Amino acid sequence: MRFPTSLFFFRQSALLLVVFFWALTPAVALAQALPTAASALGEPAWRYTVRPGDTLIALGQRYLRDPAQWPLVQRDNHLTNPRRIPPGTLLLIPASLLRAQPASAQLVQVFGVVRWRAQVKDDWQAARPGQTLAAGAQVQVPEGGSAVIALANGTRLALQPGSLLSLDTLSLYANGLMADTRLRLQQGQLEIRDNPRRLPNQNLRILTPSAQAVVRGTQFRVSANAEATWEETLGGAVDLHAAGAQVRVDAGQGSLARAGQAPLPPVPLLAAPDVSAMPTLFEQLPLGFPLPEQAGAASWFGQVVAENDAAHVLLQKTASSKTLNFADLPNGRYVLRLRAVDANGLQGLDATHAFTVFARPFYPLLTAPVAGATVRVARPALAWSTVLDVAATHVQLATTADFTHPLFDAQTQDAQWPPPADLPAGALFWRAASVDAQGQQGPWSAPQTFKYVPGPGPADLSKAALRFDADHLMIALPPAPAGQHYALTLSNNADLQPALAQVQSPGGALTLPRPASGKRYLGARLVDNSDGAQGPPVVRVIEVPPRYPHLWLLLIPLLPAL
């Protein structure tokens, strides 16, 4: 008899439990669904934790726009007694019920050309640091500029070159205890470090032409154009909404939402590239950074920022080749921020690489002697191209490429410089650097090498024998040194111009036309057979006797007649 009674009791208890949980389910579902719906695409809700002594009437007087609307809070939160609420109870109060006040943002940093306007209908104006921005304002950053905007809760928005941002909503609720911020990135890229003080009830949404990013995290990037939105989460999490669908993008992940399509499932961001092999010093322009091999990298995104301010973007570029090039930068220290980009256009994690530019004033182009030349004169003039806005050129010449002990070290305002002493035979190195009007020297040119091979010495005419016949001048020369020959010139003048006759010979007997009688000049040079290098001229004065020295004797018989 006890068994049926126990069975009946068990059935009744089970039925009561089912009814209890059935009644509880809507309230639980609402409590779970309301924060997600409100903070995602719908109206934001304030989360308030009840304290001892709180009543809905008192809370209405303190925080609601219309204190008499506290029954709506009671209804939505399923409270039975508005005067007795257990401490620790979480109340969700829609923003539409709360007392609101406008907030503002501030342009804390402005680099390059940045423009702003208070409303879409207004004209663009030049932005300045410290500028206050109210709801409805727009900020435009063309290529070559960048800006940092601070929100009331400390959130930092780094607006990248080529971007346009609208501040649609900047609102505070419940005496400033809740914030609702809605930003519209119409194009470009925005880097966000959200709510660094971890304040509760801070709602931030980034709207783009194709998606909406609802912030759950602390650091992320959003890029947008008319065709797509890219979101990369670096810390925390972000909900990306598009075309009625939503994905949660956790730290280290990214997602893409093309216009009119649901977001792609999140994928891991590419790792920070290996930049260890990149150069740290550039002494000439343009700058070229060799890109590493990295699996999954379809292209690369690089930014050059100031060494002491990572928000100051000086240059940025996307590259698909093996080298990332930047055209120009002044002398100084910089940081390259490099990201690998996957096939969907999602940018990976940052790698940073410090480098120095020391390229000005530009060094000249070394023109003579050309690289690898053989020089046969002992004091060749070193020459280079002219560089604008340069006051002088610093020249060094040495026997080693490290210039530890230069043979000559000089400055000149000319575009060439002859060594003041004979060069030693063998391989030599020279380089040049420009010096500006303030005395600042730029980088050295790359060392250029040439070889000095001494040319032929002076010809020895002391052993030359000369004799004349009626029509010829005959010269007997000793043999020229090995690999050389003589070049002889006969002239009426000491400078050997113009020449009466010229001849070349390795030595031995030479015959020249006999010149008229009187003082004449014979010049001789030794010439290298391999390259025609000439030694210094040696000039000898010769007296050419009359062709018929005894012809005057024929005049003796005529003397009496005279």
pLDDT in tens, 314-339: 999 999 989 999 999 999 999 999 99
Domain 38-98 in CATH: superfamily? LysM domain (3.10.350.10)
- Compute, in degrees rounded to 10, the torsion defined by CA atoms 395, 397, 402, 405: -110
> Where does the chain hold its CATH 2.60.120.1440 domain(s)?
101-268
Distance CA 322, CA 292 (A): 8
CB atoms under 10 Å from CB of 169, counted, come to: 19
State percent of the chain over pLDDT 70: 90
pLDDT tops 70 at residue 151: yes
Domain 281-357 in CATH: superfamily? Immunoglobulins (2.60.40.10)
Distance CA 319, CA 198 (A): 37
Helix 2-39 vs helix 70-77: crossing angle, to nearest 10: 130
pLDDT in tens, 66-99: 999 999 999 999 999 999 999 999 999 999 999 9
pLDDT of residue 518: 93
Joined tokens for residue 356: 């120095």
Q: pTM for the full model?
A: 0.74
**33-61 burial: b if 16+ Cβ within 10 Å, else e:** ebeeebbbeeebbbbbebeeebebeebbe
pLDDT tops 80 at residue 482: yes
Phi, psi (rounded to 5 degrees) for 510: -125, 150
Q: Picking from 33-47, 348-362, 434-448, which range would have the lowest pLDDT averaged per residue?
A: 33-47
CB atoms under 10 Å from CB of 121, counted, come to: 7
Q: How far is CA 64 from CA 27, 49, 56, 98, 161, in A?
A: 23, 16, 10, 4, 42
Which residues make Cβ contacts (< 8 Å) with residue 426, sequence separation at least 6? 399, 451, 452
> Where does the chain hold its CATH 2.60.40.10 domain(s)?
281-357, 366-452, 465-544
Phi, psi (rounded to 5 degrees) for 394: -100, 125
**What does the DSSP 8-state code read for residue 275?**
-
pLDDT of residue 462: 85
Distance CA 345, CA 255 (A): 10
Residue keyed to tokens 């005279």: 562
Average pLDDT estimate for 23-52? 54
**209-237 burial: b if 16+ Cβ within 10 Å, else e:** ebbbbbbbbbbbbbbbbeebbbbbbbebb
Give the residue with greater pLDDT, 492 vs 549.
Answer: 492
Domain 366-452 matching CATH 2.60.40.10: the answer reads: yes
> Where does the chain hold its CATH 3.10.350.10 domain(s)?
38-98
Q: Please classify residue 102 by burial: count the beta carbons closer than 10 Å to its beta carbon, then call 0-12 exposed, 13-18 middle and 19+ buried.
A: exposed
pLDDT of residue 246: 96
Distance CA 78, CA 90 (A): 11
Q: How far is CA 7 from CA 2, 11, 19, in A?
A: 9, 6, 18
**E strands present in 261-308:** 267-268, 281-282, 287-290, 299-306
Joined tokens for residue 522: 């014979």
Q: What is the DSSP string of 342-373?
A: -TT--B---EEEEEEE---SPPPPEEESPTT-
Joined tokens for residue 429: 């190195």
CATH code: domain 465-544 is: 2.60.40.10
pLDDT of residue 432: 98
Distance CA 388, CA 401 (A): 27
Average pLDDT estimate for 216-227? 90
Distance CA 430, CA 408 (A): 9
Indicate the pairing of strand 163-173 with strand 138-141: antiparallel
pLDDT of residue 396: 98
Phi, psi (rounded to 5 degrees) for 86: -60, 130
Sign for the CA dihedral angle at 342, 345, 347, 351 comes to: positive
Length of the chain: 562
pLDDT tops 60 at residue 371: yes
Q: How far is CA 166 from CA 221, 252, 354, in A?
A: 16, 27, 34
pLDDT tops 50 at residue 37: no
Which of the four pLDDT bands, split at 50, 70 and 90, describes residue 24?
Answer: very low
Q: In this structure, are residues 299 and 341 in contact, taking their beta carbons and an 8 Å threshold? A: yes
pLDDT of residue 559: 53
Phi, psi (rounded to 5 degrees) for 401: -75, -10
Distance CA 108, CA 131 (A): 7
Distance CA 393, CA 29 (A): 81
Q: What is the DSSP string of 50-64?
A: --TT--HHHHHHHHB
pLDDT of residue 276: 96
CB atoms under 10 Å from CB of 292, counted, come to: 17
Q: Which of 40-44, 177-181, 264-268 has the highest mean pLDDT?
A: 264-268
Q: What is the largest CA-CA distance in the chain?
A: 197
What Rg, from alpha-carbon coordinates, does the chain have?
A: 46
pLDDT of residue 538: 93
pLDDT of residue 23: 34
pLDDT of residue 557: 58
Average pLDDT score over the chain:
89
Output helix, strand, coil percentages for the chain, rounded to the nearest 5: 10, 45, 45
pLDDT of residue 562: 52
Q: In this structure, are residues 242 and 262 in contact, taking their beta carbons and an 8 Å threshold? A: yes
**What does the DSSP 8-state code read for residue 441?**
B
The class (CATH top level) of 101-268 is: mainly beta
pLDDT of residue 427: 97
Joined tokens for residue 257: 């939402």
Which of the four pLDDT bands, split at 50, 70 and 90, describes residue 470?
Answer: confident
Q: How many CA atoms lie within 13 A of 157 on its CB side?
A: 30
pLDDT in tens, 505-553: 999 899 899 999 999 999 999 999 988 888 889 999 999 998 765 544 4
Distance CA 166, CA 55 (A): 40
